Chains A and B, each alone.
Chain A
């Protein structure tokens, strides 16, 4: 049985780090804050790995499938009988898997930052924010109650805001963190409304109860959920769709993706942790959590999930082919891979063999965390070395940064889906699931995987091959010390080996282990496509030549559009300024100022005018008082004598 205390230590240790370093870091613990943060997280990781071991191998499997366990559930805020916000821990396959992923990647980032952020003025603050983020993310994956997940969702958003805006003197960083927070907050509005609808329909906020009530056909809640309808669509569909909107915002799905490239203003280890491996997959996690409801009760929403994921994947891949900032390329790559995870969930069905998409999505989440974090940390090393983010300032670095080179190559091979690296296995399962359920999405996925290989290797060759390296005289640090290389190596091992984990044994849509078969004929097509992409990139970028420029002019309009990220940001600004501000904002402000304030002022000014008039009674003229007195007496006397019987 899971031990509530040990499991609750997993998020609480980083939280303790946050409090400790936040309160005392700047004054007392400047030098040691990194060590403290890392040690706390190491403890957390060890406990998480132990929990995973216990769950998957000791007690988790009950009666043929992995069961959900709730070792801790404390009622916090009770709205009515049965509807209460609880704080608790839910242990099931995906939450345990996420525990491992989050703590491991966070640990890698903590270790890496010991070297990368060394000498920063606000070093303790950085580690305390990292602790806050890890705590929030862990709380999110352990949430047993949909409102609890919302609370931690917002906390993750806040931590992201703090970390993106870490270099707050840079106006671009400030703008980026605001943008991230506002866009995700806007999506969270949908999430909140979705929560309210779902909890209203099912009469509870607890995940297990909610899922059970909304998926079993006979229950009264199920009947209410499908019978209430608004604009022809049933309540539960609206609820699920709105919850997905929240997830799409956090996971940077089209069209709420605009914040992710700008979020690269934060320090690179932060990008590795938050915007590659953990926070952005929160949306995927949420959809996976509510998967039974989506698959069984609202299949239309699941279709929408699939198409949104697929469109985001190909959209991002196209843009990534043209970007010149290394972190932007990686950001769009992240968006594309999350699109993969989303549509893998979208094409999946519930139960048994049909749940392949679910397993594939979670598998890809796991492997993606490894190689994407690796890519970002490697990029961090490169950026640190050449002091610039642009590709044109890099080239021929393979001799000067050997370890970074090898690990980066492994990660690129993994993401392109070249066997035997991890990405191949997870991508193959996704493509298989898509092929079995939705051919359209399958073709989009296939094209995207070719593009993925192409742009990743474009990046690789531009950094490490392309032109010979000229040192500009400032070689100070070389590659970076042990603390920066260790995470790269560990993550590279993960990226290489994780593919061999039989994921379906542990994580599947209904808990019953899924056997993953290796379909040789099926895998040939994607691998060939990936290798084509690799060799095209090698041909175009291995040495400096004019083939890229010629291709760009050949594809002129399309190239420019992709380079400008398909003008989505401009569209947003247009809609916001011209439509929202002018048509909605201004009239609303006018109404507020003139009507609402006007009414209030009217009350005030009427009173004032009345008092000015009444004031005149106190004229100071005694005779006037006497006249009123006499008149009053006459009136009263008449009244009493004649009118009052």
Chain B
């Protein structure tokens, strides 16, 4: 086995990304969809850090991106939870298949 390098981390990052996509597409519950989104965001973070370390060690661009992404992800998760709670109050369920308000 070789020393784990950039490619290994990219592998993990891609796999995690698509696991997150699968979770987003398959789940019926809004909160679990949100979890999928968090996985996606984390995979992106991993990607950035990996590139920062292996391809651009002279700069810290990737690192700062990750910092900001984490901050924004936190804000976004908070807003999403607020929306979910609001939706729950009006529909009394957060099952996604029931909400067909965007229907033709």
A interface list, Cβ under 8 A from B: 615, 618-623, 626-627, 630
Contacts and interface: CB of A to CB of B under 8 A. Distances in A.
Given A619-B103, A623-B96, 15 more contacts: A615-B104, A618-B104, A619-B104, A620-B99, A620-B100, A620-B101, A620-B103, A620-B104, A621-B100, A623-B24, A623-B26, A623-B27, A623-B33, A626-B24, A630-B21
Contacts of A627: 25
Contacts of B33: 623
Nearest to B99: A620
4 smallest beta-carbon distances between A and B, as pairs? A620-B103, A620-B100, A620-B102, A618-B104
Nearest to B102: A620
B89 to A, nearest CB: 20
Interface in B49-70: none
A622 B33 CA distance: 11
A60 B102 CA distance: 91
B104 A621 contact: no
B25 A619 contact: no
B90 interface: no
Nearest to B18: A630
Contacts of A619: 100, 103-104
**In this complex, which of B21, B101, B103 has the most chain A Cβ atoms within 10 angstroms of its Cβ?**
B103
A69 B43 CA distance: 104
A623 B25 contact: yes
A618 B104 CA distance: 6
A124 to B, nearest CB: 64
Interface in B11-35: 21, 24-27, 33
Contact of B102 (A615, A618, A626, A630): A618
Interface of B: 21, 24-27, 33, 96-97, 99-104
A621 B25 CA distance: 10
Nearest to A627: B25
Contacts, number: 29
Contacts of A630: 21, 25
Nearest to A630: B21
Contacts of B24: 623, 626
A626 B99 CA distance: 15
B103 to A, nearest CB: 3
Contacts of A615: 104
A621 B26 CA distance: 12
Nearest to A625: B102
Contacts of B26: 623
A244 B23 CA distance: 89
A613 to B, nearest CB: 12
B77 to A, nearest CB: 18
24 contacts: A615-B104, A618-B102, A618-B103, A619-B100, A619-B103, A620-B99, A620-B100, A620-B101, A620-B102, A620-B103, A620-B104, A621-B96, A621-B97, A621-B100, A622-B102, A623-B24, A623-B25, A623-B26, A623-B33, A623-B96, A626-B24, A626-B25, A627-B25, A630-B21
B18 to A, nearest CB: 9
Contacts of A623: 24-27, 33, 96
B90 to A, nearest CB: 16
B96 to A, nearest CB: 6
A624 to B, nearest CB: 9
Contacts of A621: 96-97, 100
A615 B102 CA distance: 12
Nearest to A617: B104
Interface centre among B24, B99, B102, B104 (most CB of A within 10 A): B104
B16 to A, nearest CB: 16
Nearest to A619: B103
Contacts of B25: 623, 626-627, 630
A163 B104 CA distance: 62
A622 B101 CA distance: 10
A620 B98 CA distance: 10
A622 B96 contact: yes
A621 B95 CA distance: 11
A630 B21 CA distance: 9
Nearest to B33: A623
B97 to A, nearest CB: 7
Contacts of A620: 99-104
A173 to B, nearest CB: 60
A620 B24 CA distance: 16
A237 to B, nearest CB: 68
B23 to A, nearest CB: 11
Contacts of B96: 621-623
Nearest to A623: B25
A125 to B, nearest CB: 61
Contacts of A622: 96, 102
A492 B39 CA distance: 118
A141 B25 CA distance: 88
Nearest to A612: B104
A483 B25 CA distance: 102
A626 B20 CA distance: 13
Nearest to B22: A630
A642 B96 CA distance: 37
A541 B26 CA distance: 110
Q: Name which of B26, B97, B101 has the most chain A CB atoms within 10 A of its CB.
A: B97
B98 to A, nearest CB: 10
B37 to A, nearest CB: 11
A626 B33 CA distance: 12
A177 B101 CA distance: 65
A615 B25 CA distance: 21
B1 to A, nearest CB: 30
Contacts of B99: 620
B51 to A, nearest CB: 20
B44 to A, nearest CB: 16
